[in-house]
A and B are shown apart, each in its own frame.
Chain A
Amino acid sequence: MVSRTTDDYEKLALAGCETICEPAFWAGFDRASAQGFYDYFRQITEYEPKRAARFGIKHYTWLCINPKESEDLELADDVLALIPQFLGKPNVLGIGEIGLNKNSRNELQVLEKHIQIAADYDQLILVHTPHLEDKLKGTRLILDALKNHSKITPDRVIIDHVEEHTINLVLDQGFWAGITLYPESKCTPHRAIDMLEAHSGERIWMNSACDWGISDPMAVPKTMLEMKRRGWSPTAIQRVAYDNPVTFMKQSGKFHLD
């Protein structure tokens, strides 16, 4: 987790976390060149797995240029050209987190190019949906772009950061949905549990945001505790916190727990 200290790996290990997956995302600032992304891809495919392994945690990752840095098409093309050489790394599960940020034409163009790479190399896709007022529109545009590609099957795509107004759009069209736990935006533990209950935990995973903002890597274990307080059985908790993400990620052919 490039945006976190090593202490966070230790906390996760103490909470029983066995595996994490880290999407390629914004670095807290805009990178000036594709070389910066090359180094970043090495960091998340070579260095972070070693840092996680010190605490017995397996580390998987996803590759892309994130939507926040996709307005510059020339930079985006240079970064996209780097991705195939990293797809063979043992901890790379697919393309992500791709998507939209401000729902611009250039962001959409770069999203479509990522989708093409995923199709060409038979990769899973992890999608970031925009924040706040931009989420509904962005989710609709993303779903349209995915459905427009004949080689993309919804069961190999997870649409992340869903909320109450977007989750039905995602699940009704056969995609997986991700609920991101975040203190200020996105979703709280109780809202996540409400959505999971409303959809019987089907094709949904939840994740802790671990980014540059005020976020909490322990959000998933804390939500599991709230599930227990709300009368969830150990089997139901196991299903949404563990079995569901394992089922989705195993489709990559690389994900394993031992």
Chain B
Amino acid sequence: MNTWTPPVNVNLVDLGFMDSRSKLIDLAAFLDRVQRVGQEGDFRVAALKQAIQLLAGDQPERARNILLSFSDPSMEPIPKATTQGAVGAVPPALG
């Protein structure tokens, strides 16, 4: 039986605006920083710029869509794991 009780209405803008504003400015400053030193060609920066465009969507699916944009879309297992870590965006060789 689903006993879920939705939360009462609170002002989520009051709760989250300043934090989101700060993170957006941090993002802008990061893009400025890497551009000043000529590193904007990195595939991760390119992936970030592509993902930013998804913020302009009009459906409440922005987080999901941004995560999808950073994801490896292939379905076949790779032949061998040569590293253990992930980098956050699909490297050009896999994309």
Contact = CB atoms under 8 A, between A and B. Distances in A.
B81 interface: yes
A102 interface: yes
Contacts of B10: 229-231
Interface string A130-174: 111111110011000000000000000000000111000000000
Given A200-B4, A201-B4, A239-B3, A133 B83 contact: no
B82 to A, nearest CB: 8
Contact of B87 (A132, A141, A191): A132
Interface string A86-112: 000000000000000111111110000
B38 interface: no
Contacts of B79: 104-105
Interface in B41-95: 63-64, 67-68, 70-75, 77-90
Contacts of A106: 80-81
Contacts of B18: none
Secondary structure class of chain A's binding surface, majority of residues: helix
Interface residues on B, range: 35 or more
A165 to B, nearest CB: 4
A236 B70 contact: no
Given A133-B88, A201-B4, A229-B10, A141 B72 contact: no
B15 interface: yes
B72 A137 contact: yes
Given A132-B88, A165-B67, A235 B5 contact: yes
B68 A165 contact: yes
Given A135-B71, A137-B73, A233-B5, 14 more contacts: A102-B86, A104-B78, A104-B81, A132-B86, A132-B89, A133-B71, A133-B86, A191-B63, A194-B63, A202-B2, A230-B10, A233-B7, A236-B5, A239-B3
